[in-house]
Structure 1
Amino acid sequence: MNQEESSAEPLAARQVVIVAMTGHMLLDFAGPADVFSSANQILELAGKKTGYQVRVASPTENRQVTNSVGMEISCASSVLDITGPIDTLLVAGSNGIQHLDDPAYAVFYAWLERAYPHMRRVGSICAGAFVLAKAGLLNGKKATTHWDRSRLLQKNYPLVRVDPNPFYTSDGKVHTSGGVSSGIDLALALVAEDHGRDIAAQVARRLVFYLNRPGFQVQFGNLLPAGDQQHIGGKLRSWLVEHLHEPLDIPRLADHLNMSPRNFTRVFHKQTGISPAKYVEKLRIEAARKRLEETDASLEEIAIQCGLGGLVSMRRTFLRHLMVTPSDYRRAFRTSLTEMMA
């Protein structure tokens, strides 16, 4: 080591602040915090002194936050009191996004807008995307959130380019992640960005987690929302489920509701936002998913039972809607007490 290297000041640890909003799930902030803390241990073993200073902070002066099951959490600090440069700020979202309009958060939103330009990275976990959107940080940017909240995020913040499919997204210095455990995916990606893939892979192995998890959030979500029984799709749904293995063209559907095909098609699209054919196709996929998860029926049998044609046709339809093949879906989501007890 030369004299210049020996006299150089050691690099400061990057300050990572995770803001825990009221109503969050513990994994929202505990998962990413464990990723950065584990990275510190692995970096130290590798003889690297620069890691992370990890803080979990409240968004208000009151350092108490309540999680989704009513657990009171006392944070060591409020984000409003943190001094020194913040390298990475992650907002762990609230299950009840109605909390986000609480007047007590007004100071936090103003602080976030001011502090944002001075941070290297800002991100969100799950519904934390609503916080970033409310502060205007997602305008014009690509973002994701929990698959079940993506439509609401798009509706409430139309300037955000919402993509419900990926586990996490990056757009410039802004990073957003999907449902709950996706915060771990995002944190691992940030560690890889800072210290390389090898360090991130070691962290993932320590946490018994994928470094690059296969699949997309769309595999977990329902293709069709719960139907309103007054809604034309809701009125048809239970009947359709009993007849998925049969031809279901528009004249037959219209006849079941005593409507003309033309009026049926117009009303259906107006109330559901999709065509009758697309609705039936999604309902068939939902039925096939359930059979793949819960039965030992062959893929060919399931394809026929759900009206998806043969195996090739079902595979093509699954890839288009869920970005996974039926066989891979079954391997990922099948739960069997018989297999567990074997």
Structure 2
Amino acid sequence: MNELQVTKHSKLVVIVAFPNLPLLEIAGPGDVFYQASKVLHEKVGIENAYKVIVVAADRSNEVVTRSGIAVSCPLKIEDINQPIDTLLVAGYTFNNPVIERSDLYQWLSQIYPKVRRIGSICVGTFALAKAGLLSNKNVTTHWEKGDKLHDDFPDILVNSSQLFIKDGNIYTSGGVSSATDLSLALVEEDYGREIAVSVARHLVLYLKRPGFQNQFADLLPEPELGNSVLGRIQSWMISNLNKDLSVEQLAAQSNMSPRNFARVFLKETGLTPAKFVEKFRVEMARKLLEESDLNIEQIAEKTGLVSLVSMRRIFLRNLMVTPSDYRRSFKTTKNEVGV
């Protein structure tokens, strides 16, 4: 059995990794904690401030990531003979028969009172939920899985707009890259802002990344077009974005009464016509912000968001970011790389 080389100053960080997870969910925290140890040694003289080990959720000797890169796991869960400071669950494999038959969730439940803090990366939130650790807790997960988490565990308070959330000593993070956001926050919590800033600067990261997961999510549900009300009018809506898209106009285009149109539209899409139109315009506007060279005022006019002031207000309401900040984050890089 491999012994853990830790000192009295070491904080042992254990990452429980599920098969087929993105490599960044392991590499991101690993690099943050390694760099924090390096900075602390140089600035404060602390040796081996963090020790990171990865153990496989299925107790195998390696974790094969989604990209095919295998990460060696010389230790198994039961081999850990040192107190765990921070436990992070990375990834989650839905309906994995090997893990479902194991005692992983029982182990998580039993180890929780013994660790200083426990957290999840991306859909790792599901593992903590299955272990019974998240009842009545405020949590986040990847924006695509927020609704499923809420449906599967209705006693959990899910807010999938956030990059990460702390509730007591439980930390949950959103999408894959938020693993680094969470890890930097943990370093700052342990050793202060100056150390965390030094780590972020070296790794060329934001200490606190601007924005929310909303920026990455689709605002509208996947439409079932065909002979649906939306299917009959969507092309017309795209061609008339800068015109009146009131319920009356949409109903007339559908040859329906406004009242019946609103009722059927809500049933088919889950949104009122007014709310759908607002989100539809935002989706069209952000596509133009990403791909076109139109200025923001021209995009506001073209998509029916009227003006810079109105567009900014609507973007903040739906994406929690301004149009200019959205463009800086997501505009195509083709020109920059010479494509």
Q: Could you state the TM-score of these two structures normalised by the residue count of structure 1?
A: 0.91
Unaligned runs of 5+ in 2: 1-6
Residue among 276, 282, 286 paired with 1:285: 282
Query: What is the aligned partner in structure 2 of residue 44 from structure 1?
Result: 41
Query: What is the aligned partner in structure 2 of residue 132 from structure 1?
Result: 128
1:144 is the counterpart of 2:128: no
> Are the counterparts in 2 of residues 165 and 218 from structure 1 also a CA contact under 8 Å?
yes
C-alpha displacement of 1:52:
1.1
SS at match of 1:77: coil
Query: What is the aligned partner in structure 2 of residue 80 from structure 1?
Result: 78
Alpha-carbon distance in 1 for matches of 2:96, 2:167: 23
Alpha-carbon distance in 2 for matches of 1:34, 1:105: 32
Q: After the TM superposition, which of the residue ranges 262-271 and 100-109 deviates more from structure 2?
A: 100-109
Q: Give a deviation string over 1:260-313, Cα, whole Å, max 9, x none.
A: 221221222223222110001001001000111111112111111101111111
Query: What is the aligned partner in structure 1 of residue 111 from structure 2?
Result: 115
Letter in 1 for 2:192: G
> Are the counterparts in 2 of residues 58 and 65 from structure 1 also a CA contact under 8 Å?
yes
CA RMSD of aligned residues (A): 1.9
Alpha-carbon distance in 2 for matches of 1:252, 1:159: 41
C-alpha displacement of 1:340:
3.9
> Are the counterparts in 1 of residues 229 and 254 from structure 2 also a CA contact under 8 Å?
no
Q: Give a deviation string over 1:194-233, Cα, whole Å, max 9, x none.
A: 1111111111111110111111111121111322225544
Residue among 29, 34, 38 paired with 1:32: 29
> Are the counterparts in 1 of residues 9 and 46 from structure 2 also a CA contact under 8 Å?
no
Query: What is the aligned partner in structure 2 of residue 3 from structure 1?
Result: none
Query: What is the aligned partner in structure 1 of residue 4 from structure 2?
Result: none
Letter in 2 for 1:63: N
Unaligned runs of 5+ in 1: 1-9
Query: What is the aligned partner in structure 2 of residue 186 from structure 1?
Result: 182
> Are the counterparts in 2 of residues 11 and 50 from structure 1 also a CA contact under 8 Å?
no
Query: What is the aligned partner in structure 2 of residue 272 from structure 1?
Result: 269
Letter in 1 for 2:167: D
Alpha-carbon distance in 2 for matches of 1:134, 1:307: 45
Q: Could you state the TM-score of these two structures normalised by the residue count of structure 2?
A: 0.92
Query: What is the aligned partner in structure 2 of residue 59 from structure 1?
Result: 57
Query: What is the aligned partner in structure 1 of residue 3 from structure 2?
Result: none
Aligned residues: 331
Letter in 1 for 2:283: E
The verdict on how the C-alpha distance between 1:84 and 1:257 changes in structure 2, with shifts beyond 3 A counting, is same
Q: After the TM superposition, which of the residue ranges 289-298 and 76-85 deviates more from structure 2?
A: 76-85
The verdict on how the C-alpha distance between 1:137 and 1:101 changes in structure 2, with shifts beyond 3 A counting, is farther
Query: What is the aligned partner in structure 2 of residue 314 from structure 1?
Result: 311
> Are the counterparts in 2 of residues 122 and 174 from structure 1 also a CA contact under 8 Å?
yes
Alpha-carbon distance in 2 for matches of 1:105, 1:14: 31
Which aligned pairs between 1:1-342 and structure 2 lie closer than 5 A?
Answer: 11-46=8-43, 47-49=45-47, 51-94=49-92, 97-100=93-96, 102-104=98-100, 106-230=102-226, 232-341=229-338
Q: After the TM superposition, which of the residue ranges 68-77 and 153-162 deviates more from structure 2?
A: 68-77
Alpha-carbon distance in 1 for matches of 2:151, 2:215: 22
C-alpha displacement of 1:341:
3.9
